[in-house]
Amino acid sequence: MTLTTWFITGASRGFGRSLASAALEAGDQVVASARRPEQLADLVERYGDRAMTVALDVTDRAQADAALTAAKERFGRVDVVVNNAGYANLAPVESTAEEDFRRQFETNFWGVYNVSTAALPLLKEQGGGLVVQFSSVGGRVGGTPGLGSYQAAKFAVDGFTRVLAAEAAPFGIRYLVVEPGGFATDWAGSSMDVPRIPEEYEETVGRLADRLRSAPAAGDPARAGEILVRIAHSDQVPTHLLLGSGAVTMAVDHSAAQIAEATAWHGVSASADFGAAYPVDLPAGR
C-alpha cells in the first residue's frame, strides 16, 4: 500500500500539530516542520520512521526549498503540502508599528508564497498533489477590528491560491483553502501580542480583545485535523472549506449581504458601459 506523505508547516502546535497527529494516526507519513523542530521530537518517538521533523522558518525561501527537498529524499514524494504557519497580533491599524504589520504579513502571506512556489516543481514532477492553505473565515468576510495585517494577508492568500489553482490544474495539482472560525488553539493566547489599545479604539478593537480573552472557542482542532485527513484521502476536495458552525453562519450571512448589495446597485454598475442608459437613479435609502 502506498502511504500518503504530508508536509506541514507550523506543526509544533495548533492546527498544524493536530493535523500531523491525525495523519500519523491514520497511518500516513508526515514531515512536520517548525522553527524549533525539537518541539516535535515526541512525534518521532511515537510514530517512528513515518514521522520526520525539519527546521523551517517559512519567511526564508531557501529553508523552504531545503525542507521540501529533504522530505522528497526521505519519502520519495510529497502528496499533501499544508501551509499552516501563521500568527496575529491585535491592534488598530493606526497604532500598529509598520515593522509589526510587515512582519505579520511576511509570515502569513509570503510564508505561504515561499512554500507554495517551492513545492510546485516537486508536485509537477510527480504528477500532482494537494496543497492546503490555512486562511480564516476572516479571510472571506473580513472587517474584524484589530486584525488589519492578519486579515489582509488572508485575503491575499485566497486570491493567490485561486490563481495558482487555475494555473496548476493541468498538472494534477489541487488546492484547498481552509477557513476556520474560533478554535481552541493558541492563536489568541500566548501567540498573540496585544499592546495597550488607544482609548478611542476601545469600542472596536478593545471589545474584540475582551471577547477573545473571555469567550471559549467552540472549534475542536483535533476534529478539524481528522476532517482534513479524510478529505485528503477522498476524491471530494472543495476549493474552500469552512470549519466550525460560527464560520458557516458568518460566511452565509456575508454572501447574502454581498448578493443583496450587488443586486440593489446593479443598474448603477451597468450604466458604466458604453451605450448603456446613463445616468440612472441611485438606490433609495442606505
The pLDDT tens digits for 251-261 are 999 999 999 99
CA-wise closest residue to 209 among 85, 100, 86, 92? 92
The pLDDT tens digits for 186-244 are 776 777 888 899 999 999 999 998 888 777 778 899 999 999 999 999 999 999 999 99
Task: Find the angle CA(97)-CA(101)-CA(106) to the nearest 5 degrees.
Answer: 140
Instruction: Give me the pLDDT at residue 285, please.
Output: 75
CA-wise closest residue to 61 among 123, 120, 133? 120
Instruction: Give me the pLDDT at residue 188, please.
Output: 62
Cα 85 from chain centroid (whole Å) = 8
Residues that are catalytic: 135, 150, 154
- A 10 A CB-CB count for 239 gives 12
Across the range 18-38, mean pLDDT stands at 96
Confidence grade of residue 129 (pLDDT, cut at 50, 70, 90): very high
What is the pLDDT of the chain when averaged over all its residues?
A: 94
Phi, psi of 121 (to 5 degrees): -60, -40
Q: What percentage of residues in the chain have a pLDDT greater than 90?
A: 88
Q: Is the pLDDT of residue 1 over 60?
A: no
Q: What is the DSSP string of 154-180?
A: HHHHHHHHHHHHHHHGGGTEEEEEEEE
Instruction: Give me the pLDDT at residue 6, please.
Output: 98
- Better-scored residue on pLDDT, 65 or 214: 65
The pLDDT tens digits for 98-121 are 999 999 999 999 999 999 999 999
- Better-scored residue on pLDDT, 192 or 42: 42
Instruction: Give me the pLDDT at residue 211, please.
Output: 85
Rounded CA gap, 128 and 234, in Å? 15
pTM for this structure?
0.94
The pLDDT tens digits for 154-163 are 999 999 999 9
Across the range 51-66, mean pLDDT stands at 97
Question: Does residue 145 sit in helix, strand or coil?
Answer: coil
Counted residue by residue, the chain has a size of 286
- Single-letter amino acid, residue 277: A
Instruction: Give me the pLDDT at residue 194, please.
Output: 86
Q: Which domains does the chain have, with CATH numbers?
A: 5-243 (3.40.50.720)
